[in-house]
């Protein structure tokens, strides 16, 4: 019987996670191979795998995957470089927060996709435009989440640092940043997932490479197997990056788990 907040053994967690995918693909196979859904609207798993292999072996889809990964990483890293320091400053110093917070709160509600026509006008349809879409979609979310995290630091830690003679700058460097580093890393992990949605939108318009470009080309051919394969590749890459982020966080902040 399930109990609220009761932890799950690692082995059981793996089995449960795999079980969902098994059931999902089984239902998909029954719906498509059983003739309940037309192949025009939804390819069956076998056709999807065949189309995916064709894309990789004949049409250079690996290059599209590499380009999409590069765009996600590039735009996300740029956003993190700007957002994390600014978020820390906003969380640490209330005048800085009062100056930036209204604009950041306003800007984070603006959909990154709405900027695509302007970014194409300003930067063309090259890599800069796609990096900027991911940057805009990520930077304001990271700023506000980091600021909230730093602003909620335990006051007793700050007061203890002042009592021991630390300066304001020292409190930021020796208390606020170390205390919130695990949470900031977790924020980056979450926003990285959002960055993948922005890059696909950017690649759907004015792009000659990338997973999104392949998906929109496949739509014109009604090649649902290729579209599904592209979507699954995105999910797999995201899943791998998520696990890698979690492993890195556990390695860097093992003391937080103690």
Determine the pLDDT at residue 177.
Answer: 87
Determine the pLDDT at residue 1.
Answer: 61
Determine the pLDDT at residue 160.
Answer: 82
In this prediction the pTM is 0.84
Closest CA to 214 of 78, 52, 71, 18: 52
Greatest alpha-carbon pair distance for the chain in Å reads: 75
CB atoms within 10 A of CB 115: 18
Closest CA to 73 of 245, 248, 223, 226: 245
Nearest-angstrom CA–CA distance, 135 and 138: 5
Helix axes 224-252, 177-204, angle to 10 degrees: 170
Inter-residue contact 52 to 229 (CB < 8 Å): yes
Determine the pLDDT at residue 258.
Answer: 46
CB atoms within 10 A of CB 189: 16
Spatial neighbors of 51 by CB under 8 A, at least 6 apart, are 43, 223, 225, 226, 229
Determine the pLDDT at residue 139.
Answer: 93
Nearest-angstrom CA–CA distance, 118 and 113: 10
Helix axes 116-123, 127-151, angle to 10 degrees: 120
Q: Give the angle subtended at the CA of 204 by the CAs of 201 and 206, to the nearest 5°.
A: 120
Expressed in angstroms, the distance from the first to the final Cα of the chain is 28
Backbone angles phi, psi at 108, to 5 degrees: -70, -15
Closest CA to 160 of 179, 132, 145, 134: 179
Which architecture characterizes domain 65-257 according to CATH? Orthogonal Bundle (1.10)
CB atoms within 10 A of CB 91: 24
**3-state secondary structure at position 36:** coil
Per domain, the residue ranges of the chain are 65-257
List per-residue pLDDT tens for the chain, 258 residues long: 667 867 778 787 888 888 998 999 999 899 988 888 888 888 889 999 999 999 999 888 999 999 999 999 999 999 999 999 999 999 989 999 999 999 998 988 888 888 888 888 888 777 888 889 899 999 999 999 999 999 888 888 777 887 878 788 888 888 888 888 889 999 999 999 888 888 888 887 767 788 888 988 888 888 889 999 999 999 899 889 888 888 888 888 776 654
Nearest-angstrom CA–CA distance, 138 and 61: 26
């Amino acid at each position: 019987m399930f109990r609220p907040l009761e932890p799950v053994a690692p082995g059981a967690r793996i089995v449960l996670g795999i079980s969902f995918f098994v059931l999902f693909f089984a239902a998909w196979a029954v719906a498509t191979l059983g003739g309940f859904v037309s192949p025009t609207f939804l390819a069956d798993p076998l056709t999807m795998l065949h189309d995916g292999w064709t894309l990789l072996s004949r049409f250079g889809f690996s290059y599209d995957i590499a380009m999409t990964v590069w765009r996600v990483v590039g735009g996300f890293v740029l956003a993190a470089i700007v957002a994390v320091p600014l978020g820390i400053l906003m969380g640490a110093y209330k005048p800085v927060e009062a100056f930036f917070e209204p604009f950041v709160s306003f800007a984070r509600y603006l959909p990154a996709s709405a900027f695509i026509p302007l970014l194409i006008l300003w930067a063309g349809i090259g890599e800069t435009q796609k990096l900027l879409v991911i940057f805009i979609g990520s930077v304001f979310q990271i700023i506000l989440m980091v600021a909230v995290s730093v602003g909620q630091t335990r006051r007793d830690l700050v007061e203890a640092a002042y009592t021991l003679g630390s300066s304001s700058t020292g409190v930021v460097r020796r208390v606020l940043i170390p205390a919130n580093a695990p949470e900031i890393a977790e924020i980056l992990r979450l926003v990285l997932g959002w960055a993948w949605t922005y890059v696909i939108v950017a690649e759907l318009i004015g792009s000659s490479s990338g997973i999104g470009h392949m998906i929109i080309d496949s739509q014109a051919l009604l090649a649902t197997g290729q579209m599904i394969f592209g979507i699954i590749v995105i999910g797999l890459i995201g899943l791998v990056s998520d696990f890698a982020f979690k492993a890195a966080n556990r390695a860097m902040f093992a003391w937080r788990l103690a």
